[in-house]
Amino acid sequence: MAIFALADLHLPLGIDKPMNKFGKQWDNYVERIEKQWQAVVDKEDTVVIPGDLSWATYLEQAERDFAYLERLNGRKIIVKGNHDYWWSTMSKMNEFVNAHGFNSISFLQNNSYTADGVSICGTRGWLYPAWDSFSESDRKYFDREVARLELSLKCAETDEIYVFTHYPPMSRECEGNAFTEMMTKYNVRKCIYGHLHSYTHANRITQAKDGIEYILVSSDYLRFLPKLVKGGAEQWEDNNENNDSI
């Protein structure tokens, strides 16, 4: 068993919105994701998707994207991203996956899952307070995400806790805030996040803080290869070691 992560799949199968308009690095990305995913992920593994799974606006529009995900190996756990407009209530999303037989897909919000001795916790996150344009309106959303993170952390069943969030929880200067303090309070080991694309890869967090390792897993940063974050074959432990050249 192993735990992988890959954020920002931006699947366009339900609506016609391919990502290659954002650059050649996105050429044939749907096919590349499938090929590389199947090469490294086994059926017994878990893959967490920290946001932006699909471009669909409504849940029904995302059916083909979910069918694509269901065909891939492993158990999949999805966190909400800022472009996941299809995201609905947990009850409606669970009804949707059950009705369509998407049995390998679950959703992470105000809850947690356990895999390979790790408690998988998380929430979408929001812009961090040190962001230049952070506003009073942002404060409301930020505080709500901190509360949701704690609800998830309270559900943890093991001492080894990983947090998965769509937005980076702080800047690369590691100034810290209520979100990161919450993770420190619950002794989180790793924080895995997405959202950053193209030139903003340079804004990733490059150092640990308060004992927490921070890992960027946006799909274009990883060249669409799922990132191993726990366990698995030793040969895959450094499967993204050359990403600094992107």
Choosing among 1.10.3720.10, 3.40.50.300, 3.60.21.10, 3.40.50.2300, the CATH entry for 2-245 is 3.60.21.10
pLDDT beyond 50 at 35 = yes
Q: Say what the pTM is.
A: 0.93
Task: Give me the residue spans of the domains in the chain.
Answer: 2-245
Share of the chain above pLDDT 90, in %: 86
| Segment 135-179, tens digit of pLDDT | 999 999 999 999 999 999 999 999 999 999 999 999 999 999 999
- How many CB atoms are located within 10 Å of the residue 102 CB? 17
CA–CA separation, 165 and 233 (whole Å)? 25
Give me the long-range contacts of 90-98 (CB less than 8 A, separation at least 24): 92/59, 93/59, 96/59, 96/66, 97/66
Residue 16: what pLDDT?
A: 79
Helix 136-154 with 178-185: angle, nearest 10 deg: 10
Strands 118-123 and 113-115: antiparallel
Residue 150: what pLDDT?
A: 98
The residues pairing with 3 across neighbouring beta strands, listed in sequence order, are 46, 230
Residue 18: what pLDDT?
A: 73
pLDDT beyond 70 at 120 = yes
